[in-house]
Each structure stands twice: as structure tokens, then as C-alpha cells.
Structure 1
């Protein structure tokens, strides 16, 4: 942590900045996993919607 003191004796604390890095493009296996998760999520939301519509 980086700390400074001004002329009035007030402390200012600054957080340490993390190292920056660039995200990597997902490979084909990750892309397929994301597609599967999207399909499951869509199926879940659609089912909940249809159940709510049927109950009302």
C-alpha cells in the first residue's frame, strides 16, 4: 500500500494496482461448453415461463 502525508498531517492511502493482462480468446472446447450452458439456461427459463403461464 502506498501512503502519503500532506502538510496538515492527513494520511492518504492508495491501493496497490494489480498487474494488467489481456484476456485470451476461448478455445473450441470452452466455446462448446458456453453453448451448452446457454442451451440449459434457455431451457430452464422457458420451462419456468411455461409453468407460470399454465398455473395462472
Structure 2
């Protein structure tokens, strides 16, 4: 399997506001830190795309 960065093909980034429970934010931040992911936003974008691909 070959991993390819598709971010250049996703278009311009846009800023959005989301409301999440503090517990969820803490879990995301811990996961991002522990897995050396670039940012919380990157994690959320990847998670959303993964979910969208599965449906």
C-alpha cells in the first residue's frame, strides 16, 4: 500500500467553529500529541474524510 498526501487536491482551507464537549477535546489533543499529528484541525479533517469515504 502506498500512502499519498492528497491535501494539495482538497482546495483552499476554510476556518469553521465547532462545539465539542471538553472531554472529547482532551481526548483529541492527547491523541494528536501521542501520535505526533500536525494539529487538532488535521486530525479532525482526517477523521471526517475517513468517515465520508466509508459511507
TM-score, normalized by the shorter chain, greater than 0.5: no
The TM-score with structure 2 as length reference comes to 0.31
The TM-score with structure 1 as length reference comes to 0.31
Structure (1/2) with the larger strand percentage: 1
Structure (1/2) with the larger helix percentage: 2
Larger Cα-atom Rg? 1
